[in-house]
Amino acid sequence: MDMKKILFCLALLLGSGLAMRAQDAAQGLQEIRFGVGVRGPVDRSVGWGSPEIVSLSYAHYGQRGYGIRTGIEFMPQNTRIDTYFGIPVAFSARTRAYSLKESIGHGITSAAAGAVRDAYYGIEPTAKSLFSDFLLNLFNRAEFFAGLTPGYIAGESRSAGSSYGNYTQTDQYINLNHHFSLTADVGFSLSFRIWRFNIGVVPAVHYYLTNNFTSISETYPISEEVGGNHSHTETPVRFHFSALGALSFSF
């Protein structure tokens, strides 16, 4: 064969290989994620009201797994105040995604290690513990994120209900101090990838940099005959916790 033809074929193969590598590397650098879950104050005495949250986000990553994620989130009630919209913007870092074969191998190894550990301590391994160890290791990608979420709370201050003691009544209110909000957010996600789809969980903690909510509690005697002092306390509500189930598509 002519040397020029050989060189041309080698160049063509090399170019095709580089193009395939570039294409493989580019796969999954962008992601659209839909999430549904709950979110409410860490202080459960405040009461969550209707805690549902829905989110839709878009993320773009570099080759090393660092990227940025933004989107929109909606709650029918936020700390008992009606209608909340937020636009999260976060920097994130994610690990590479293990293949399904690798994930199953890790799951089997983890379950076997758990059985050996239990046997060493004289504990009889159960199907539940073995399955838990196996299932936990099926998550084949982790992501850590931190950012800010400007938002708007459309509702108004409202009563959070009443409670009764033997001789007293306590009324609780949630006061909305500002409609516009800004939270600092930190969280992570664990996902199980099948082809380009990812199923996962996304827990996070949110801190209100703006003083949006105040929990007001008033306690007073049920009747004048009982006597007693009237008490009034106000507590800022700063920390929220959220947990979402998510479905995403990488491309």
Maximum CA extent, the chain: 112
| Percentage of the chain modeled with pLDDT above 70 | 70
Helix (H, G, I), strand (E, B) or coil at 167: coil
What are the structural domain ranges in the chain?
Answer: 31-94+144-250, 98-139
Contact 130, 111 (CB under 8 A): yes
Q: How far apart are CA 103 and CA 91, in angstroms?
A: 26
- Whole-angstrom Cα distance, residue 189 to residue 139? 10
3-class state of residue 227 by DSSP: coil
Residue 48 — very low, low, confident or very high, per pLDDT cuts 50/70/90? confident
Q: Kindly tell me if the per-residue pLDDT of 244 is higher than 70.
A: yes
Span 144-168, pLDDT tens digits: 999 999 999 999 988 777 777 677 7
For the chain, the average pLDDT equals 80
Domain 31-94+144-250: assigned CATH number: 2.40.160
What does residue 115 show for φ and ψ, rounded to 5 degrees?
Answer: -65, -40
Considering the entire predicted model, what is its pTM? 0.75
